[in-house]
Amino acid sequence: MGLKNVLKSASMGVREMDAERLTDRFIALGLQPLSELEPRFKAKVCGEVKRMSIKPRAGIPSMEIVINDGSGEATVVFSGRRHVAGIEHGHCIIVDGVPHSDGKHLVFLNPAYTLLPMGEE
């Protein structure tokens, strides 16, 4: 690491460094950034799993994950599932579907998805 990179890292906060790391990681895939998503338009996006939870929706258990690509976040909901094999914190996933707006957040309901191998993009 050069002096320029050390000085840059010292002046950046943890969130900014994480956002830069994620942006660099996913740029080669050529997918739409999460910050540019529009509700009700088909999109294919990629992100790293940041949060996972099980929440009931209409009385049905649903697995919710929040993905982040460095430019923004989106929530992905798998209805009727308590677990999806291969989806864990820190893993990367490509999501293909139509997001809708839930307040200020964009949500994908039961999208098609592809798990990316660890360490590869």
Where exactly are the structural domains of the chain? 3-115
Out of 2.40.50.430, 3.30.420.40, 3.40.50.1000, 1.10.10.1100, select the CATH number for domain 3-115.
2.40.50.430
| Rounded Cα gap, residues 46 and 61, in angstroms | 24
pLDDT digits (tens, 9 = 90+) for 59-118: 899 999 999 999 999 999 999 999 999 999 999 999 999 999 998 899 999 999 999 987
> What predicted TM-score, i.e. pTM, was given to this entire model?
0.82
Among 18, 25, 48, 119, smallest CA distance to 9 is for 18
Average confidence (pLDDT) over 43-72: 93
